[in-house]
A and B are shown apart, each in its own frame.
Chain A
Amino acid sequence: MTVIEVQNLRKAYGDTVAVRDVSFSVERGEIFGILGPNGAGKTTTVECVSGLRRGDGGTIRVLGRAPADTELRRLVGVQLQESQLPDKLSGREALELFSSFYPSPADWQALARDLDVPLATRYAKMSGGQKQRLSIALALVGNPEIAILDELTTGLDPQARRHTWGLIEAVRDRGVTILLVTHFMEEAERLCDRLAVIDHGAVVALDTPAGLIAGTSTEQRIRFRPSAPVDTALLEARPEVRQVVRHGSQLEVVGTGNLLHAVTSVLAVNDIIANDLRIEQASLDDAFVRLTGRSDSGE
């Protein structure tokens, strides 16, 4: 069952077109990721889905309703990028206050425990990670059917990030659909069932993380330090090998098929040992670079 349906969304601010043409649909119970470089239109897209902005064109349906429908405020929990709370409000007060907004809220104390939100600390005194965790807790405190999380783990240290991922999976396991905006490849790869890659305001790819990676390239790279000089022509003679590049004492072999077997058999015949051997396969990063032409999402 489709819970979020976005069709040909368009949104401009004056002359700047933030979202040119975005379409995707999210099924109940999945973690759907929106991945893209900064300024690609990710945040504008989810703000339109959240009902905070009106698109200039296209249609959006959330749980069968228009995004501005007030009923959705109860059914959709939102964690906004760059949204803060009053300085002197404590974690406990924030959670208690927000839970009173909803007819059947989650147990905020349990949420605070799971997310390690400091209850007695005032907002201004919280670390970036604590503020972020409080913000996530506030998005979940209303027991939403859909949670929209914008830049979920930005500002968290790696350990807290992994912990948060585990929590998001646990939330999904309770049946909550999650729309996740991110620019972390690792996060998208680990969490998302499906991903829309957005660039310059349009969807450039929509697939599972594995599908996106597979579509990128079947090429592999093998790097190693040979124990004795290698005649690269011998390697290049093999059909699996496309290219051999020398990096100082290291060799990098690029190719397809059973590349590893091809390389090791050439080396074995010549009595050469491959030290520090590493095989690199295409990652979501590579898929992202191919799709957006950028080496990094520009953190």
Chain B
Amino acid sequence: MRVFTKLTLTELRLFLREPMSAFFVIIFPTVLVVILGCIPAFREPQDSLDGGRVIDLYVGIAVVLTLAMVAIQIAPAVLATYRERGVLRRFATTPVSPLKLLGAQLVTNLLCAVVATGLVLAVGRIAFDVPLASQFAGFVLTFLLSAAGVLAIGLVIAALVPSGKAGNSVGTLLFFPLMFFAGLWTPREVMPEALRTVADFTPLGAAERALNDTMTGHWPAAISVTVLLGYVVVFGFLAVRWFRWS
């Protein structure tokens, strides 16, 4: 355990030494909330949103954004680089299994997403009066389930790409459509019916819907939870099957 803590701290340190990733993961989602919150119309209740406000929705979307960035953009690139450069093999010759390094990398990403989420929620609450999730336990569980789902997808990407560069490209390529369905550009609530149905079955779309449910005081919809669990199981299984250490 002592070694795992040390590994995680090292991974965290390395993460923070990449100023671009650190900014986009930890600061950018909050910046997005602040910018949108500065638009007066977004702070007014809308009939089309059942009396909700656009800014309320975007706090949930910003949380999904942090998860997508750590899991789809960062983790695959880092892990593929570790494999490409023989770091995982290097660990395989020591008493510490490369599995621990992989675990430390995932925990690091999760911790960064937690910090970013805390920041988004705090700024949303303080600056724009966005209520904290009234179904808090549901929020935490949904957050962890979503994180597990997207990290499993990230692991599969890391397993399949030949290099860190390729991991980065594939991650970026997937990031935009997945975030589209999470409502980054058009929130789910105002999507056309057909698009909304598709979104409900995408990992980030399901995550956004489930998080939004808990933020408005409900338990997440069964369909979203099922979809997220499905991603965890299927992609977790594939990641275990396909991941190569060298």
A-side residues, CB < 8 A to B, are 50-52, 70, 73-74, 76-78, 80, 82-86, 88-89, 93, 97-98, 100-102, 138, 142
The CA of A281 and the CA of B244, in the complex, are separated in Å by 50
Within 8 Å CB of A73, what residues of B?
93-95
Within 8 Å CB of A98, what residues of B?
94
The reply to whether the CB of B47 lies closer than 8 angstroms to some CB of chain A is no
Q: Give the number of A-B contacts (CB < 8 Å).
A: 59
Within 8 Å CB of A88, what residues of B?
14, 17-18
Within 8 Å CB of B86, what residues of A?
80, 82-84
The CA of A50 and the CA of B87, in the complex, are separated in Å by 15
- Closest Cβ of chain A: how far from B10's Cβ, in Å? 6
Between-chain CB contacts (< 8 Å), 13 pairs: A73-B93, A73-B94, A78-B93, A80-B90, A83-B90, A84-B90, A86-B14, A86-B82, A88-B14, A88-B18, A93-B13, A98-B94, A101-B3
Within 8 Å CB of B96, what residues of A?
101
Within 8 Å CB of A83, what residues of B?
85-87, 89-90
Within 8 Å CB of B94, what residues of A?
73, 98, 101-102, 142
B-side residues, CB < 8 A to A, are 2-3, 6-7, 10, 13-14, 17-18, 81-82, 85-87, 89-90, 92-96, 246
The CA of A80 and the CA of B89, in the complex, are separated in Å by 9
Within 8 Å CB of A84, what residues of B?
85-87, 90
**Given A101-B3, A101-B96, are A89 and B85 also a contact pair (CB < 8 Å)?**
no
Q: Report whether over half of chain B's contact residues are helix, strand or loop; otherwise say mixed.
A: helix
Q: A78-B93, A84-B85 are in contact. List 6 more A-B contacts (CB 8 A).
A: A52-B246, A82-B86, A85-B87, A97-B6, A98-B94, A102-B95
- Which of B82, B85, B90, B246 gathers the greatest number of chain A CB atoms within 10 Å? B90
- Closest Cβ of chain A: how far from B118's Cβ, in Å? 25
The CA of A83 and the CA of B86, in the complex, are separated in Å by 4
The CA of A85 and the CA of B90, in the complex, are separated in Å by 9
Q: Which residue of B lies closest to A148 (CB)?
A: B93
Within 8 Å CB of A76, what residues of B?
93
A-B interface, 10 closest residue pairs, ranked by CB to CB distance from nearest: A83-B86, A78-B93, A84-B85, A88-B17, A73-B95, A83-B90, A101-B96, A101-B94, A74-B95, A88-B14
- Which of B13, B17, B93 gathers the greatest number of chain A CB atoms within 10 Å? B93
Within 8 Å CB of B90, what residues of A?
80, 83-85, 138
- Closest Cβ of chain A: how far from B178's Cβ, in Å? 27
On whether the beta carbons of B93 and A100 are closer than 8 Å, the reply is: no
- Closest Cβ of chain B: how far from A147's Cβ, in Å? 11
The CA of A82 and the CA of B86, in the complex, are separated in Å by 7
- Closest Cβ of chain A: how far from B27's Cβ, in Å? 19
- Closest Cβ of chain B: how far from A176's Cβ, in Å? 16
- Closest Cβ of chain B: how far from A136's Cβ, in Å? 13
On whether the beta carbons of B82 and A97 are closer than 8 Å, the reply is: no
- Closest Cβ of chain A: how far from B20's Cβ, in Å? 13
Within 8 Å CB of B81, what residues of A?
86
Within 8 Å CB of A70, what residues of B?
95
